Amino acid sequence: MTRITQTADLQACHALRRAVFMEEQGISEADEFDDLDQGALHFLAVQDGHAVGTARLLISGDTARVGRICVLKDQRGTGLGAQLIGAALEVARAQPGVQQARLGAQVSAIAFYEKLGFVTCGPVYDDAGIPHREMSCAL
């Protein structure tokens, strides 16, 4: 059984992001790790004592920004990514005044986010060498 909780364990979150974004997708450390982690809420999915997925949530005004969503390769297709997004959106909805969620989706993952209620808004842009599109979801 997989458990998703808010966490202060940035080391575990960073290890997952390093494995998925840096090692698997070739994103540089400079592009992956920024100064926003310290002010973000982090979510960690743990299965059988092992971290298998993470996401972060940044709140600014009426907007909750979900990002750094990643799931280890052997856990993809299990619904874990949707569960991580759901956990982040649940916390976002509980924040006073927050009315929308936004994220920068890799173009290859747009259909996944659309199934979760997000819609594209804006042109394709480059983020760390990977095509992305901004997406939003009313809360």
DSSP label of 75: G
Instruction: Name which of 68, 65, 73 is nearest 91 in CA terms.
Output: 65
pLDDT tens for 32-60 read: 999 999 999 999 999 999 999 999 999 99
Residue 71, domain extent: 2-138
Give how many domains the chain has, as a whole number: 1
Rounded CA separation 40/81 (Å): 18
For the stretch 87-107, pLDDT in tens is: 999 999 999 999 999 999 999
Q: Can you point out the beta strands (E) in the chain?
A: 2-7, 41-47, 50-60, 63-71, 100-106, 119-127, 130-138
State residue 63's pLDDT score: 98
Q: What is the CATH number of the domain that holds 104?
A: 3.40.630.30
Q: What is the pLDDT of the chain when averaged over all its residues? A: 96
- Residue 1 in this model has a pLDDT that exceeds 90: no
